[in-house]
Chain A
């Protein structure tokens, strides 16, 4: 008869070996059951280079059955027990959430242009630090546009933590007005280099002070601003354009109406924990939808671009062609489109604004045809609000997370967009200065055709 100690040793050994062998065995069984090729044999199908091995490891990790079953449950457990919000989100006060890379950008020192792996953030690199190189990249783009007789207005969007540091950390309570984002140094440098820019940091601080944060300028559990924040930004940009006398000559009157929207934040989704959305409930915000009084429709394109990228060469269906072009990211996308994959939804009936030239109810419109499909109302984002504030049509190219390079790349392959443009408004999230998906690549614009201003 075996001794109790030996039984324990046997149990531990067999249990350990079962776990070690059980994970790949279960994976193989699942793959065979699904009729898929056995992924673990992929390692023998290509040369064992570092790149191939890394790709193999990532594929194994992504394809592991536990990714879909165990991992979310564990993340949910960690959220429930220790308040762990995962790698992307940071928990603030009063159930506010912040995007961790955005906070990292604020906390870290000005990063060196070349990272540890030797890769370059801005191409071509023009300075020791990323911020210096980004300034140089902006100046290059300004000069490229100037050759075509087009002006550039740069609009770095403050991250949520730059405007609401006190909602992230109690330490900033009472001192949020003094909070300085590193992007403000970038703005100063742009000014020294003669690049026109809008300082939304000061504008937002002032707006927050004036409105006592009601409504807030940013969504509590989302990376982005509220419709109120987008409106403040659009008004500030419009004011700056007026100061610079860069407005079109014939102002146009838009109509508008208020729509209440229930929007779930993007940050709970990033936690990849099943219960996160219950922890951080959807917020109800009021959007101002901008309408075209002549055509009775929303100022949104009939069709979007590829996933994550929305390009509209003629945003407003008016007789005039837009002389303003917005290049931007998800800060321009949010509320602007009827996002089929978005998390928001129309909350109850919309309320019309009696002002201006409201379209008659019986007038056919694209909106009416697609209203049921819409989750978010659309035409209430930064581009439409800017058009409304300016009284001028606005075209735009918007790419989620791609304001640094992708939007310029899209522009370079569609140079016809620039033919009648006088002003380009370049909006990007401030964290793009040092963090992002591809850095700031050099994108040449095709040579300017002969054109008059």
Chain B
């Protein structure tokens, strides 16, 4: 539909006839299991894994339910052996439970609340600059805690069933460059694109010019993978451009000489700006929002009311908590593997029950990555 609409827009400019639009209903999670099926084929072709023993094993890999809907993207060679043989133990199951509870709490207590702020500001006609930055930050926190939550749930469920899925996030907002960001954000996607697209395209082995082109192509594709919309293309293009720019500048980049906290802050600002493209419904909406962020548009009088929706004690408290959790070094993925004492256990169970009851007070709020 996206390609047909885009081609039709071009054809319309020439006055040519339009292509028919096929309205096909796509199953949710299609982008994830398409990648998994591709991974199976490529890994076998490269000789990195042996074929599945049966159709059931193959189907189990492609439709592995814990991560079927929203990742992390599992590459076949990483779980081929586990499909054959898994070890089940109380220790592993309880590690899975711990990670599952942490993921569930992240989604209900943090991501959903930040989503309220982001929805309010992105849905406003003309927010003030302060509101627009606050909305972008809220969205950055929402998408991180939402997606990381789903990854935790998936990895946790996997552990309960004896699987060990790879880490998908590693404190991404502590990245001190965009290159570093992509080492920490949606790791299963970035490594997939690196191993199955960037390196086959030649990676950085064919000279600087080709490297920049490869980076741009990979990020454009990565953007498009998230959805058939020009906003995702622009988001990917912007990240591709930033990656190419950092590689070109090397240690001379604008912020390479800054102390690490400043580098982290600059990276965060760049990421916030790109999230606007990711979140906006259209390029024009993204342009209006960015204009508001940089004080290039006049806020409407109704935008005065936005503060009452955005800066509530609950929103501010949760935003502060999110920021603290974002910058502290302990990751749920690692913490859940430590030896838990009874205090930890009681804390986790209380957190689980609390999050369950809080969920009953919230409106339906699906995971953001369900639509990809």
Residues of A within 8 A of B (CB): 4-13, 15-16, 19, 23, 64, 66-67, 70-71, 73-75, 78, 82-84, 86-87, 90-92, 98, 100, 103-104, 106-110, 161, 165, 168-172, 175, 178-182
Check B309–A103 contact: CB distance below 8 A. yes
Q: A9-B91, A161-B305, A165-B304 are in contact. Are A107 and B348 (CB under 8 A)?
A: no
B230 lies within 8 A of chain A by Cβ: no
- The chain A residue with its CB closest to the CB of B119 is A104
Q: Which chain A residues border B345 with CB–CB below 8 Å?
A: 8, 11-12, 15
B302 touches A9 (CB 8 A): no
In angstroms, how far is the closest chain B Cβ from the Cβ of A74? Answer: 5
B344 lies within 8 A of chain A by Cβ? yes
What is the chain A residue whose CB lies nearest that of B311?
A: A169
Nearest-CB residue, chain A, relative to B342: A8
Query: Known: A16-B349, A165-B305, A179-B304. Is A5-B340 also a contact (CB below 8 A)?
Result: yes
A74-B308 CB under 8 A given contacts A15-B349, A107-B124: no
Write out the residue numbers on chain B whose beta carbons fall within 8 Å of the beta carbon of A161: 305
Chain A residues near B97 (CB-CB < 8 A): 12-13, 16
Q: A295: shortest Cβ distance to chain B, in Å?
A: 46
Residues from chain B with Cβ under 8 Å of A175 in the complex: 301, 304
Q: Is the pair A169, B304 in contact by a Cβ cutoff of 8 Å?
A: yes
Q: Which of B101, B125, B309, B341 contacts A109 (CB 8 A)?
A: B125
**Proximity bits, B108-127, A CB within 8 Å = 1, else 0:** 00000000000010011110
Q: Is the CB of B349 within 8 A of A10?
A: no
Q: Could you give, for residues 86-99 of chain B, a 1 whenever the CB lies within 8 Å of some chain A CB and a 0 otherwise?
A: 00001101100110
B305 touches A106 (CB 8 A): yes
Given contacts A9-B91, A13-B94, A109-B125, A87 and B363 within 8 Å (CB-CB): yes
B125 and A107 form a contact (CB under 8 A): yes
Provide 6 A-B residue pairs closer than 8 Å at the C-beta atoms, listed in order of the A residue.
A5-B340, A8-B345, A12-B349, A92-B308, A107-B302, A107-B303
Bound Cα distance A369, B144 (Å)? 64
- List residues of chain B with CB within 8 A of the CB of A104: 123
CB pair B360 A74 closer than 8 Å = yes
Indicate the member of A12, A13, A179 with the most B CB atoms within 10 Å. Answer: A12
Would A11 and B342 be within 8 Å (CB), given that A78-B314, A168-B308 are in contact? yes
For the complex, what is the distance from the CA of A98 to the CA of B304, rounded to whole Å? 14
Residues on the A chain within 8 Å of B357, using CB: 66, 70-71, 73-74
The smallest beta-carbon distance between B143 and chain A, in angstroms, is 19
* Distance of A70 Cα from B359 Cα, bound (Å): 11
Contact assessment for A169 and B94 in the assembled complex, using a CB-CB cutoff below 8 Å = no
Cβ contact within 8 Å between A4 and B308: no
Q: Measured between C-beta atoms, what is the minimum distance from A164 to chain B in Å? A: 11
Partner of A71 from B123, B339, B348, B360 at Cβ < 8 Å: B360
CB atoms of B352 and A16 under 8 A apart: yes
Q: Does B52 contact A (CB under 8 A)?
A: no
**Shortest Cβ distance from B121 into A: residue:** A107
Tell me whether A74 and B361 are in contact in the complex, defined as CB-CB below 8 angstroms, given that A8-B340, A16-B101, A83-B313 are known contacts: yes
| Smallest Cβ-Cβ distance to B350: which chain A residue | A15
B123 partner residues in chain A, CB cutoff 8 A: 104, 107-108
Interface centre among B123, B304, B339 (most CB of A within 10 A): B304
- Whether A78 lies near B305 (C-beta < 8 A) is no
- B241 contacts A by Cβ under 8 Å: no
Query: Does B317 sit at the interface, judged by CB under 8 A?
Result: yes
For residue A84, which residues in chain B have a CB less than 8 angstroms away from its CB? Answer: 312-314
A-facing residues in B50-106 (Cβ within 8 Å): 90-91, 93-94, 97-98, 100-101
**B residues less than 8 Å from A11 (CB atoms):** 342, 345
Q: Give 3 nearest A-B pairs by CB, closest first.
A: A9-B94, A109-B125, A82-B314
- Report chain B residues within 8 Å CB of A90: 308-309
Q: What separation, in Å, do the CA atoms of A13 and B93 have in the docked complex?
A: 7
* Complexed CA–CA distance, A9 and B336 (Å): 11
Q: Which residues of A contact B306 (CB under 8 A)?
A: 107, 169
Q: How far is the CA of A67 from the CA of B126 in the complex (A)?
A: 37
Query: Is B340 a contact of A9 with CB atoms below 8 Å?
Result: yes
Residues of A within 8 A of B94 (CB): 8-10, 12-13
- The closest CB in chain A to the CB of B299 belongs to A171
Q: Which residues of the other chain, A, contact B323 by a CB distance below 8 angstroms? A: none
The residue on B at minimum CB distance from A66 is B360
Give the complex CA separation of A75 and B362 in angstroms: 10
Q: Is the CB of B125 within 8 A of A168?
A: no
User: Which of chain B's residues have a CB closer than 8 A to the CB of A19?
Assistant: 349, 352-353, 356
Given A11-B342, A19-B356, A169-B308, the answer on whether A82 and B313 have CB atoms closer than 8 Å is yes
- Taking the nearest CB of chain B, how far is it from the CB of A328, in angstroms? 25
B90 near A6 with CB under 8 A, answer: yes
A178 in contact with B301 (CB, 8 Å): yes
Question: Which residue on B lies nearest to A74, using beta carbons?
Answer: B357
**B325-372 CB contacts (< 8 Å) to partner A:** 339-342, 344-345, 348-349, 352-353, 356-358, 360-361, 363
B253 within 8 A of A: no
**B6 within 8 Å of A by Cβ?**
no
Contacts of A172 in B (CB 8 A): 301, 304-305
From 15 to 74 in chain B, residues with beta carbon under 8 angstroms from any chain A beta carbon are none
CB neighbours (8 Å) of A67 from chain B are 360
Is B307's CB within 8 Å of the partner chain A?
Answer: yes
Residues of chain B within 8 A (CB-CB) of A75 are: 361
| A9, A82, A109, A178, most chain B CB atoms within 10 A | A9
Residue of A nearest to B116 (CB): A87
Contact B361 A10 (CB under 8 A): no
A83 and B349 form a contact (CB under 8 A): no
Q: How far is the CA of A179 from the CA of B97 in the complex (A)?
A: 52
A104–B348 CA distance with the chains assembled, in angstroms: 37
CA distance A66 to B93 in the complex (A): 28
In the complex the two chains form, is B304's CB within 8 Å of A12's CB?
A: no
Per-position binary interface string of chain B over residues 278-321, scored 1 when its CB falls under 8 Å from any chain A CB and 0 otherwise: 00000000000000000000001111111111001110010000
Known contacts: A74-B357, A75-B361. The answer to whether A98 contacts B308 by CB under 8 A is: yes
What's the Cα separation between A8 and B125 when bound, in Å?
A: 52
Residues on B with C-beta less than 8 A from A110 are: 125
Contact A106 B361 (CB under 8 A): no
Q: Do A74 and B340 have beta carbons less than 8 Å apart? A: no
* Residues from chain B with Cβ under 8 Å of A182 in the complex: 302
- Determine which of A5, A71, A169 lies in contact with B305 in the assembled complex, contact meaning CB atoms within 8 Å: A169
CB distance from A221 to the nearest CB of B (A): 15
Whether the Cβ atoms of B312 and A8 lie closer than 8 Å is: no
B303 (CB) vs chain A CBs: closest residue: A107
Residues on B with C-beta less than 8 A from A108 are 123-125
A106 to B97, CA, bound (A): 44
CB-CB < 8 A to B352: which residues of A? Answer: 16, 19
> Given that A8-B340, A181-B302, A182-B302 are known contacts, is A74 also in contact with B358, CB under 8 Å in the complex?
yes
Inter-subunit contact B307/A171 (CB<8 Å): yes
A194 to B30, CA, bound (A): 53
Task: Knowing A74-B360, A84-B312, say if A103 contacts B340 (CB, 8 Å).
Answer: no
- Which residues on A sit within 8 Å (CB–CB) of B125? 107-110
Q: In the assembly, what is the distance between CA of A64 and CA of B361, in Å? A: 12
